Amino acid sequence: MRTLYRLIAAGALSAPLLIGAAGLASADTDYHQSHTGAGPYGAYHHSVWSGTDGHNHSYYHEHFSWAGPEGAGTGHVSASAGDHYGHDHDDD
């Protein structure tokens, strides 16, 4: 009987952990940060976006631009993973 009570107690204590872990595994995440500045020698802007959607899709985007006495420029970096954003399997 004591073993049965221990089994019931262990199940009751572990259920919230399993439910919480499942929620964590499928959670959407998003991150965005940007910086902008200007001064006597020019201006700049830098932004980063990244995240996941809980369905094995993830992305990263970075954009930067600047202007100054010697000229101006812009650039970006992008990466993604998963079927939604690109192919992660062979089309055979």
**C-beta separation of 15 from 23 below 8 A:** no
**pLDDT tens digits, residue range 34-75?**
999 999 999 999 999 999 887 778 899 999 999 999 999 999
Q: Is 88 helix (H, G, I), strand (E, B) or coil?
A: coil
Non-local (6+) Cβ contacts of 49 within 8 A are 30, 31, 32, 59, 60, 61, 62
pTM over 0.75: no
Sequence length of the chain is 92
Domain architecture of the chain: domains with CATH:
28-81 (2.20.130)
pLDDT digits (tens, 9 = 90+) for 74-87: 999 999 888 654 44
